[in-house]
Amino acid sequence: MKRVNVYRNKDDKNGTLVAVEDEDIVHFKTKIGVHFEIDVNSLRLFSSNGSEIKDVKVLRDNENIYLCNNGMGDSKSCDNVEKSMQELSLSTQTKPGKAVDDWITLNVGGKHFTTSRATLTAKEPLSMLARMFAEDKNVYLMNPSATDSIGAYLIDRSPEYFEPILNYLRHGAVILDKHVNPRGVMEEAVFYGIDSMIPQLNQLIEESRSSCGINQALTRMDVVRSIIMTPTTSELRFQGVNLSGADLNRLDLRYINFKYACLSRCNLSGANLSHCCLERADLSHANLEGAQLLGLKALCANMEGANLKGCNMEDPAGSRAVMEGVNLKGANLEGSNMAGVNLRVATLKNANLQNCDLRAAVLAGADLECCDLSGSDLHEANLRGANLKDAAFELMLTPLHMSQTIR
């Protein structure tokens, strides 16, 4: 049920409050005609903008309605209505504010949006838009802004982010298209003062981050593109970058900085990682079979469960691979050339080091518990303080009990 204010004409200040139920226009006119003692057959109803009302469904709550009786008993009534409409239009032109209109067109960043005044004022009465178009004695409380050639109010903001805000004021839900960034809508919501919209936008931003946001892993194409675009004289840095699961096999990755990067489960088989910085990088369960690791710097890197079978770490130029403190628990290094490698205090528990070349390798303080060193060459290797519990030394080229060169 709605309530409307009924006046005899625009000059009448004493209106009558009438309840409007789900009824047709005839019953509604009959109710008004009985109250004002007017013949229903000659009665016409007009809205505040001068439009004749033919259906009660178009009426809104608290709307003003004006009567026109074109019967013989009141021949001047319709003229009075028309005259009062004209006087209202003329009088509002002399006022500093603008006359209230139920439909408003906004020009936001060059795009036009048409909406009702109720949409802009009802849901967020303290917002900037509500204060721009609030009504006081049929005049806006504050002049909204300048207008363009068609009378639309100009707002110098992004139309792409304004549309979701307008839809939210219409139905109360935040619905964004795939190409619309929720962070951009958030900035506009703060600007317009649409406070009730902010919690929903925060949730959308968090969901966007978790699904495909800042932690999304780079692909092989991303790495190749970076390599191509970087001059050979400049350092290429993937420091802290997420490359988890990327297929980087057989790529030339020399001298790249992968410090703190996530390379977990990466395919680096046959890749050239010589002189790379892998300090504290995560290469757990990565495949580095046959990779070139000359002069590698992998201090405290995590290579747990990684496959380094057949890797080459011996540099003819004399630079040594530094893998001090690295985690190689359960890793497979079978047949790798690790001459001179620095594995001081490294963890190699349950690692497979069969047939490895470990000549002059530094394994001091390393954890070699249950490590399989069968067939390995440990000539001049430094095993001082290493944990050799349950380690296998079968078929060694230089058995520990016979070699005097092992320190």
Q: What is the pLDDT of residues 200-243, one digit of tens each?
A: 898 888 877 666 545 567 889 999 999 999 888 888 999 999 99
Q: Do domains 2-93 and 103-210 have the same CATH topology?
A: no
In the predicted model, is pLDDT for residue 265 greater than 80?
Answer: yes
Q: Looking at residue 8, what is its pLDDT?
A: 76
Helix 198-212 to helix 182-192 angle (10° resolution) is 160
The whole-angstrom separation of Cα 321 and Cα 323 is 6
pTM above 0.75, yes or no: no
Nearest to 59 by CA among 99, 22, 100: 22
Q: Where are the domains of the chain?
A: 2-93, 103-210, 220-226+234-407
Q: What's phi and psi for 375, nearest 5 deg?
A: 75, 5
Provide DSSP, 189-225: HHHHT-GGGHHHHHHHHHHHHHHHSTTPPP-HHHHHH
The mean pLDDT value for 240-257 works out to 93
Hey, what CATH class is 220-226+234-407 in? mainly beta
- Per-residue pLDDT, 259: 94
Topology annotation, domain 103-210: Potassium Channel Kv1.1; Chain A (3.30.710)
Beta bridge partners of 237: 257
Tell me which range, 98-102, 107-111, 124-128, is most confidently predicted by mean pLDDT. Answer: 107-111
Contact 380, 401 (CB under 8 A): no
Q: What is the pLDDT of residue 77?
A: 47
Q: Which residues neighbour 63 within 8 Å (Cβ) at sequence distance 6 or greater?
A: 2, 4, 5, 47, 48
Mean local confidence (pLDDT), 39-60: 76
Task: Supply the Cα-derived Rg of the chain in whole angstroms.
Answer: 41
> How far apart (Å, rounded) are the C-alpha atoms in residues 284 and 275?
20
Note the pLDDT of residue 307: 96
Q: Using alpha carbons, list the distances in angstroms from residue 293 to 201, 249, 304, 326.
A: 47, 14, 17, 14
- On the question of pLDDT at 112 being above 50, the answer is yes
359-393, pLDDT tens digit by residue? 999 999 999 999 999 999 998 999 999 999 999 98
Say which amino acid occupies 400.
L
DSSP secondary structure letter of residue 181: -
Contacts of 206 (CB under 8 A, 6+ apart): none
pLDDT computed for residue 238 by the predictor: 93
The correct answer on CATH 3.10.20.90 for the domain covering 2-93 is yes
The predicted-structure confidence for 124-161, as pLDDT tens digits, reads as follows 888 888 888 877 655 555 666 788 888 888 999 999 99
pLDDT mean over 12-41: 77
25, burial (CB in 10 Å: exposed 0-12, middle 13-18, buried 19+): middle
Is the pLDDT higher at 91 or at 346?
346
